[in-house]
Amino acid sequence: MTESTTVTPDPATTAGSGRGRSRMPSRAGRRRRAGRIGQVHPLVALLWLAPALALILGVVLYPAIKLFDASRGEYSITGLRKGDAGWTNYTKVLEHPDLGTVLRNTVVWVVAVVAITIVLSLALAQFLSKSFPGRRFVRWAVIIPWAASLVITSQLFVLLYDYNYGIINHVLLSLHLIGQPIDFLGDDSWTMFSMVVVGVFVSLPFTIFVFIAGLGAIPEDVMEAATVDGASPWQRYRNITLPLMRPALMIATVLNVIYVFNSFPIVYTLNDRNPGYLHDTTITFMYKLAFKSQEKDVGMSAAAGIFNVVLILVVVGIYLKIINWREETSR
Amino acid sequence: MTSTKKSVVVAGVAIAGLALGACGGGTGAGTSAGASGGSGQEVKTIKLVAAEYSKDHTKAFWDAFAKTYNQKTGYTLDVQVVSWDNIDQQSSTMIQNNQAPDILNLNAYASYAKDGLLYDSDTVLPAAVKSDILDTFVKYGTYQGKFYGFPDLSSARAFFYNKTLFKQAGINEPPKTWAELEDDAKKITALGNGNVGYALPLGPEESQGEFSMWLFNNGGTWKDGTKWTINSDKNVETLTFLKKLADEKVTQNNPARTNRADAFDLFKSGKAGMVIGFSPLAGALDADKKVDYGVAPFPSNDGSPSKTFGVTDYLMAFKKPGNEKAVKAFYDLYYQPDQVNTFIKAEGFLPVTKSGVQQFQSDPKLKVYLDTLPNAQLTPTDDPTWDKVKLAVQQNLGGGINGSPKATLDGLQKTAENGG
């Protein structure tokens, strides 16, 4: 697109007398130029890549190796390494009596938070991409939960949910919707719900903005054409908006799954009064194994950490595979 | 086009996954060469990792202490103050990485002694200091015949009651027996308006402390000699009584899921009739001036003389080449009455030395604690197994309120007998 308008004609091709002769040097010249621009000596390339490589090696690879190393060690409760444990840390994690509960919690937590977030964000993004007075203000307001520290947000919700003084119970009681306060964080049937609400609350801003960007990228003329052809608003949304939003949906889903799966502060803060692992996800499970539970075993926790990485990679891999499969079949 | 985009996503995801795994790895790093201190050479600078008892006083005290230490001895003291929420994690990470501090302030020591990481009193504690430390604390600080757990401060629990609520409910004096306590709790709960008789925190934060106070006052123990006695008849009786209080709804809602801080908040708001507290709670109540409260010995089941549950934290000395002299100089200075007692007074805790008890006698508010302190019962902190049993108790004791007290204590007994 830009090439045709801005590239200046090569003097060699325009000013040459013989076509045959002029083309040859021109091709050679282009090849030489391409060689100069596109190819550099491998060592020079390495020099340019060095900062990024150092970062990946130091921040990603080295700790990952250390994590693996720790998962194969036998540790005392004090943190002292007593020797090699082989694979026993892994088997101890797999044989942990609460592992089933923890995995179930993790699935419920990730699926519920991501699904509700995506559905709500689609609606809110639609609303925020229309122009109305005060839109800028509303958009800024949406960012706030994202900008606040997760621990602070979680702690605020602990206060809101409180059994004795929480404002939520206060409002519900004043409206006579309930006769007794609800123990949002201590009652097993409410705890997961209460955590999911906070999870959705903090995931919304990012997702909404991804979708606003996605909506902005949909060409007007396609919409116009559909309207002219007599498509109803729902048909336009179903057959044009959603398919064109696919890249945004995919990115939002993948990033949210990782982000929610790894979310530590919400689950840990809202759940700190509950004994055992009743409402823990694999991330807080890993933390408690290392520092809070009767196991208090760094090696076992590191093994759980390895499982966590593998788990999230597998889940995301499967998701991308499904996306790919749909793409293939829809053609 | 789409394939490149996707591969970018995949690569991004892989890196994100690895990075997040790496974050987990920060706490799980293995043994790396980073030990400080050359072999044989005398160390001139030592490091203290101290727990933060209060935002206002802890750092201020240790900074001033480091200055005095430097002036008097010529050694330098690096101070790092860490919050209680983080200190287990930080100390564990330091030891994994072979970067233990020279002195660590924590609420447990026996596991460290068992791992052979600590100096005992013969090497680093001046003899005069050892003989000044209260005998109870020497006893619980001794592992396999050697004294490793040097106490920095102590606290003893006492019974706090809300005088206003007691008057409203027509109760004249604090209860002497559990039956009276139950009766009083019923009367206060009957006042309505959200008042609760007894604030019972059996959540994970500190349930071993609450339960210790109850079981000691029923003649029970955690461990008798070398035998664990967690599921003794006395203790089952104790937990069953607590379950009864919860079932009768004379406690706050959901005691099994209430942390100590929340129970204290309830008492501070004037809504709870009774709670087990300690001197920092009294300090907070005095600062608020909102609740008219009294402090009394905790009632026993049968009316026999009350026993108190005592707690100490420790300043342990880590074996590192060449640091003996500097560490010994540290303890020599810390246990000077004008240092240790200044610290304890500022933080609102209780003394650990005989000279300290005498010095604090003049404060009428502390009398109720000081009288009981020399005979205070502690949890079996001298047994490394307790360090794990304590965690098991914190995580599981609340289960006895919603389920079976006997089964819960049987489970804990089994954990203890299996070595944690």
Q: What is the pLDDT of residues A224-239, one digit of tens each?
A: 899 899 889 899 999 8
Say if residue B369's pLDDT is above 60.
yes
Query: Confidence class of residue B420 from pLDDT cuts 50, 70 and 90?
Result: low
Of A79, A251, A305, the CB nearest to B96: A79
The pLDDT score that the predictor gives to residue B249 is 94
| Protein fold of A99-279 | MetI-like fold (1.10.3720)
**How many CB atoms are closer than 10 A to CB A64?**
20
Sequence spans of domains, chain A: 99-279
pLDDT of B18 above 70:
no
Q: Give the closest residue to B75 by CA, choosing from B332, B295, B273.
A: B332
Residue B16: pLDDT band with limits 50, 70, 90: very low
Mean pLDDT value across residues B259-288: 93
From A73, A79, A186, residue closest to B92, measured CB to CB: A79
**Yes or no, beta carbons of A296 and B112 under 8 Å apart:** no
Sign of the CA dihedral with A258 first, then B84, B399, and B415 last: positive
Residues B194 and A165: beta-carbon distance below 8 Å: no
Subunit contact B29:A64, Cβ cutoff 8 A: no
C-alpha B309/C-alpha B220 separation (Å) is: 12
Tell me the average pLDDT across A124-150: 88
Q: Is it the case that residue B238 has pLDDT exceeding 90?
A: yes
Distance from CA of A131 to the nearest CA of B (A): 31
Cα-flanking dihedrals φ and ψ of residue B285, to 5°? Answer: -65, -40
At which residue do the structure tokens 């430097």 appear? B70
Beta carbons of A274 and B387 less than 8 Å apart:
no
**Closest alpha carbon to B339 in B163, B168, B129:** B129
When pLDDT is cut at 50, 70 and 90, the band that residue B21 belongs to is: very low
Model confidence at B108, pLDDT cuts 50, 70, 90, reads: very high
What class is the B158-307+383-417 domain?
alpha beta
Centroid of chain to Cα A309: 14
Question: Does B45-155+311-375 match B158-307+383-417 in CATH topology?
Answer: yes
Instruction: Find chain B residues with C-beta within 8 A of A296's C-beta.
Output: 387-388, 391
Mean pLDDT of B275-294: 92
Q: At A84, give phi and psi (nearest 5°).
A: -90, 145
The predicted model gives B234-254 an average pLDDT of 96
The CA dihedral of B291, B296, B302, B303, to the nearest 10 degrees, is -130
User: Among B9, B30, B394, whose Cβ lies nearest the Cβ of A69?
Assistant: B30
CA of B277, closest CA in chain A: separation in Å? 19
pLDDT in tens, B74-92: 999 999 999 988 898 899 9
Whether A67 sits inside 8 A of B18 (CB atoms) is no
Other CB atoms within 10 A of residue B295 CB: 20
Domain boundaries, chain B: 45-155+311-375, 158-307+383-417
DSSP 8-state assignment for residue B374: G
CB spacing of B253 vs A181 below 8 angstroms: yes
To the nearest 10°, report the CA torsion of B62, B68, B70, B73: -120
* Strand B310-317 versus strand B293-296 pairing type: unpaired
- Residue A259, φ and ψ in degrees, nearest 5: -65, -45
Q: 């330091």: which residue's tokens?
A: B94
Across residues B203-229, what is the average pLDDT?
Answer: 94
- Asked whether the beta carbons of residue B204 and residue A272 sit closer than 8 angstroms, the reply is yes
Q: What percent of chain A has pLDDT over 90?
A: 56
Cβ atoms of B27 and A290 within 8 Å: the answer is: yes
Residue type, A317: G
Chain B residue closest in CA terms to A182: B253
Calculate how close chain B gets to A312, using CA atoms only, in Å.
7
Do the Cβ atoms of B96 and A262 come within 8 Å? Answer: no
Phi, psi at residue A296, to the nearest 5°? 40, 60
Choose among A71, A273, A312: nearest Cβ to B257: A273
Predicted pLDDT at B280: 86
Residue A36: its pLDDT value, please?
Answer: 62
Lowest mean pLDDT among B111-120, B339-348, B362-371: B362-371
Distance of CA B300 to the CA centre of its chain: 23
Distance from CA of B412 to the nearest CA of A (A): 10
ipTM score of complex: 0.81
Which residue among A63, A258, A293 places its CB closest to the CB of B26? A63
User: Which chain B residues contact residue A76 at CB under 8 A?
Assistant: 111, 114-115
pLDDT in tens, A148-186: 899 999 999 999 999 988 999 999 999 999 888 999 999
Of A71, A164, A305, the CB nearest to B266: A164
- Distance, in Å, from the CA atom of B88 to the CA atom of B215, rounded to the nearest integer, reads 27
Give the distance from residue B83's alpha carbon to the nearest chain A alpha carbon, in angstroms: 15
Given a cut of 80, whether residue A326 has pLDDT beyond it is no
Contact A71, B21 (CB under 8 A): no
pLDDT value of position A5: 40
Residue of chain A minimizing CA distance to B390: A294
Q: How far is CA A190 from CA A154, A183, A187, B46, in A?
A: 16, 7, 5, 50
The mean per-residue pLDDT over the stretch A68-95 comes to: 93
Residues in chain B within 8 Å Cβ distance of A64: 18, 21-22, 25
Question: Which residues in A lie closer than 8 A to residue B82 (C-beta atoms)?
Answer: none
Q: Is the CB of A305 less than 8 angstroms away from the CB of B399?
A: no
**Of all residues in chain A, what percent carry a pLDDT higher than 70?**
86
B177 pLDDT higher than 50: yes
Preferred mutation among A55, A59, A78 to probe B, highest tally of B CBs within 10 A: A78
What is residue B416's predicted lDDT score, i.e. its pLDDT?
94
Q: To probe the interface with B, which of A188, A294, A321, A323 has the most B CB atoms within 10 Å?
A: A294
Question: How many angstroms separate the CA atoms of A153 and A144, rounded?
Answer: 10
Please list the residues that pair with B300 across neighbouring strands. B177
Instruction: Single out the residue of B277, B318, B310, B280 nearest to residue B137, CA to CA.
Output: B310
Mutation for A interface: B3, B5, B7, B27, most A CBs within 10 A? B27
CA-closest candidate to residue B406, choices B235, B256, B249, B178: B235
The minimal CB distance from B28 to the residues A56, A247, A302 is found for A302
* pLDDT at res. A328: 54
Measured in angstroms, the CA of A211 and the nearest CA of chain B are apart by 17
Q: Which helix (H) or strand (E) holds A34?
A: helix A19-38
**Which residue in A has a C-alpha nearest to residue B394's C-alpha?**
A275
Give residue B303's region: left, alpha or beta (phi > 0; psi -120 to 50): left
Q: How far is residue B294 from each of residues B145, B277, B287, measured CA to CA in Å?
A: 41, 11, 15
Q: For chain B, what percent of residues have pLDDT higher than 90?
A: 74
A274: nearest Cα among A155, A156, A185:
A185
Q: What is the mean pLDDT of chain B?
A: 88
- Pick the residue with more confidence: B403 or B239? B239
Query: Using only C-alpha atoms, what is the Rg of chain A?
Result: 28
Beta strands B227-228 and B223-224, pairing class: antiparallel
User: Per-residue pLDDT for A318 more than 60?
Assistant: yes
- pTM of this prediction? 0.81
pLDDT for residue A101: 95
Which among A165, A273, A324 is the nearest to B204, CB-wise?
A273
Which one of A59, A68, A77 would you mutate to disrupt binding with B, by most B Cβ within 10 Å of its Cβ?
A: A77
Verify whether the Cβ–Cβ distance B24 to A308 is below 8 Å: yes
CATH superfamily of B45-155+311-375: Periplasmic binding protein-like II (3.40.190.10)
Residues in chain A closer than 8 A to B13 (CB atoms): 254, 258, 313, 316, 320
| Burial category of A250 from C-beta neighbours within 10 Å (exposed 0-12, middle 13-18, buried 19 and up) | middle
Dmax over CA atoms of chain A, in Å, equals 98
The answer to whether the beta carbons of residues A260 and A203 sit under 8 Å apart is yes
pLDDT per residue over B370-417, tens digit each? 887 877 899 999 999 999 999 999 999 988 998 899 999 999 999 999
Chain A residues touching residue B253 (CB < 8 angstroms): 163-164, 181, 183, 186
Please indicate whether, in this complex, the C-beta atoms of B89 and A316 are within 8 angstroms of each other. Answer: no
Q: Which of B1, B9, B402 should one mutate to test binding to chain A, selecting the residue with the greatest count of A CBs within 10 A?
A: B9
Q: CA-nearest residue of chain B to A318? A: B10
Q: How far apart are CA A33 and CA A38, in angstroms?
A: 8
**What are the phi and psi torsion angles at B46 (to 5°)?**
-120, 160
Which of chain B's residues have a Cβ under 8 Å away from the Cβ of A294?
Answer: 388-389, 391-392, 395, 415, 420
| Residue B19 to chain A, least CA–CA distance (Å) | 5
- Closest among A259, A229, A226 to A244, alpha carbons compared: A226
Write out chain A residues lying below 8 Å of B205, CB-based: 272-273
CB atoms within 10 A of CB B183: 16
**Among the listed residues B294, B157, B139, B137, the one whose alpha carbon sits nearest the alpha carbon of residue B214:** B157
> Cβ distance B394 to B107 under 8 Å?
no
Considering only alpha carbons, which residue of chain B is nearest residue A316? B13
Burial A264-282 (b: 16+ CB within 10 A, else e): bbbbbbbbbbbbbbbbbbb
